[in-house]
Amino acid sequence: MVTAGTAGVLLAPTGWLGSHIQPTFRLGGGFKWYAFDLAQTSNQVRPTIDVGLGLRGVGTGPIEVTAEVRYMMSSFDQGKLPTRGIAPQNQRQNDLVFGVGFGIRP
């Protein structure tokens, strides 16, 4: 099982695509937690970098819609698995996440 948590800065400049659509840029970092249900393995917590691009729909009503693609880069220590490679090394992990969100404003 892989669990990730990140925090960062979300920039949403105004005036680029009209008054109702804003591009967004995310830059942050966090951690990935790798949990294994195998004998002779250790769980791992590894740092990750989080970069994202998206769109935010800002309407005149109370509902707001966002869509974002995030790229998360990290590495994994394969030497902690029971089936090791020839030389234990840090294996790169690249995750691509797509998210859609809805917001309600008062």
Q: Give the pLDDT confidence of 20-50 residue by residue, as tens digits.
A: 888 999 999 999 988 888 777 778 888 999 9
Average pLDDT over residues 78-106: 78
Q: What is the DSSP letter of 40?
A: T
Average pLDDT over residues 67-84: 81
pLDDT for 85 equals 62
pLDDT exceeds cutoff 80 at 81: no
Average pLDDT over residues 45-58: 90
pLDDT for 83 equals 67
Q: Which residues of 53-78 are buried (b: 16+ CB within 10 A; e: fewer)?
A: ebebebeeeeeeebebebebebebee
Cα distances (Å, whole numbers) of residue 41 to 38, 87, 92: 6, 17, 19
